Amino acid sequence: MQRTANPSMPVRFRPWPPNFKMINQITLTNFRNHLSSRIKTDGCKNIIITGLNGAGKTAVLEAISLLSGDKGLRNAEAQMLARFNGDGGFSVFATLDNDTDICVFLNSGETNRHAKIDNENSVLSDLAKQLRIVWLTPKEDRIFVESASDRRAFFDRLAASFEPTHIGRIARLNKLMSERAGAIKSGANEKWLDVLDKQIASTAVAIAAGRIKYASELNYFFKTGAVSVDGIVEKLVIENTALQAENIYFEYLTKNRELTGDKMVIDGIHKSDFGVFNNELKLPANITSTGQQKSILIDLILAHAKLIHIKTGKKPLILLDEAAAHLDNEARIRLFQELNESEAQVWATGLDVSVFQNIPNALFVTCQDGCISNIMIAEKKNA
């Protein structure tokens, strides 16, 4: 039976923990359709941005997501982020509640983003030490019924929150697989192929082990669901030591050195898949309703946020684009309760401000044509 909240119950507010890094102020300059927009959060835990389609709501979340150091929630190239008919550059500048200033920017005429921390040049990867950010967009709403490659990309991104080398290993494996295909096609000698297969086996086992570790740790906090990962290498890692798994997969690779056209006829972590089971409905998430899928997905992200807090000591930022989409009234009430009780600063967008009326201690922001207006703080409610 699906758990629902009692609509008559008030949303409870847990006092904000001390020494938490959250955004006190953020300024977008020449970013997407924003010429110059600024939001001061006034210490609010929940920031709700509403407005019509195309108003620039998602752009605010995307700007925040860049402060994690990667390419952001849309995975867009840097030049695509600059305002149309602008000078080709942009900046996203944020002040945290410990007075640290962080900035991501693109200079006009350049192709690579840059970072600054307290006005000192920094590398983008250092930004993750300042903020931990996780997000959901409408694209992920169908993650359980889309392709296995979409699910792998989604969960691998989450796993990389705790193992920065995880994504690098996946990129390395893709490169090795491409080299292997070229070597087989060109008739390379067996010794060279052995070297490639050894590297592939070692890298694949490390990736599979990272996925299994993440899923098991996440499931400890993911009470309404359970994540599983299925694949030939993951199965080897579960049933054997890492060295044994490498040797068995290496042997498999050496016995399967064929090409069909330019496609590799081998199995591996590039074909693995993640699954999510809804513990309350006793059903796989992919066969539940759209609203139930959205609900379990948000629960998963909240569990991920708890895991970040436990493992790193940091309280993350949660970005939810069209947060209440597909949720009925009871599901929204439960969502807002859990968001308000989470140890995270939450930034959420939506078309209609009325659906967020049950969130206390929130900053409500209206976005229109790339401009921020009508900023209002909701009445605070006692616990």
Beta strand 225-230 with 273-278 is antiparallel
Q: Based on the domain organization, do 264 and 332 belong to the same domain?
A: no
* pLDDT bucket at 261, cuts 50 / 70 / 90: low
pLDDT value of position 103: 97
Q: Are residues 98 and 191 in the same domain?
A: no
Is residue 101, in this structure, part of any structural domain at all? yes
At which of 254, 274, 294 does a domain end?
Answer: 274
Report the percentage of the chain scoring pLDDT > 90: 68
Structure tokens at 291: 């609203």
Judgement on whether residues 109 and 181 belong to the same structural domain of the protein: no
Establish if 302 belongs to a structural domain.
Answer: no
Tell me, yes or no, whether 196 lies in a domain.
yes
Both 107 and 71 in a single domain?
yes
Q: Which of 348 and 343 is assigned the larger pLDDT?
A: 348
Structural domain count, the chain: 2
- Residue 204 and residue 178 share a domain: yes
Is 359's pLDDT higher than 60? yes
Provide, rounded to the nearest whole percent, the portion of the chain with pLDDT above 70: 92
Same domain, 161 and 204: yes
pLDDT of residue 192: 94
Distance CA 285, CA 294 (A): 10
Are 250 and 328 part of one and the same domain? no
Residue 46 lies in a domain: yes
pLDDT category at 13 given cuts 50, 70, 90 is very low
Please indicate, yes or no, whether residues 29 and 125 belong to a single structural domain of this protein: yes
Closest CA to 50 of 360, 275, 379, 353: 353
Q: Are residues 259 and 190 in the same domain?
A: yes
| Residue 287 domain-assigned (yes or no) | no
- 156 and 127 both lie in a single domain: no
Per mean pLDDT, which of 174-178, 204-208, 317-321, 365-369 is the most reliable?
A: 204-208
Task: Give the CATH number of the domain where residue 106 resides.
Answer: 3.40.50.300
Picking from 252, 274, 296, the residue at the C-terminal end of a domain is 274
Q: Is residue 344 included in any domain, yes or no?
A: yes
Q: Are 256 and 266 in contact (CB under 8 A)?
A: yes
> Would the pLDDT of 85 be above 80?
yes
What pLDDT band is residue 260 in, cutting at 50, 70 and 90?
low
In which domain, by residue range, is 222 found?
148-274
pLDDT band at residue 263 using 50, 70 and 90 as cut-offs: low
Instruction: Give the pLDDT confidence of 305-321 residue by residue, as tens digits.
Output: 999 989 888 888 999 99
**pLDDT given at position 333:** 81
- pTM score: 0.85
* The 3-state secondary structure of the chain, one letter per residue: CCCCCCCCCCCCCCCCCCCCCCEEEEEEEEECCEEEEEEECCCCCEEEEECCCCCCHHHHHHHHHHCCCCCCCCCCCHHHHECCCCCCCEEEEEEECCCCEEEEEECCCCCCCEEEECCEEECHHHHHHCCCEEEECHHHHHCCCCCHHHHHHHHHHHHCCCCCHHHHHHHHHHHHHHHHHHHHHCCCCHHHHHHHHHHHHHHHHHHHHHHHHHHHHHHHHCCCEEEEEECHHHHHHHHCCHHHHHHHHHHHHHCCCCEECCEECCCCHHHCEEEEEECCCCEEHHHCCHHHHHHHHHHHHHHHHHHHHHHHCCCCEEEECCCCCCCCHHHHHHHHHHHHHCCCEEEEEECCHHHHCCCCCEEEEEEECCEEEEEEECCCCCC
- For residue 341, the model assigns a pLDDT of 82
Q: Examine the domain organization and report whether 104 and 187 are in the same domain.
A: no
Is the domain of 122 the same as that of 167? Answer: no
Longest dimension (CA), the chain: 73
Give the gyration radius of the chain's Cα atoms: 23
**Which domain-ending residue is among 223, 245, 274?**
274
Q: Smallest Cα–Cα separation from 131: which of 115, 120, 111?
A: 115
In the predicted model, is pLDDT for residue 264 greater than 70?
Answer: no
Residue 331 tokens read as 């599901």
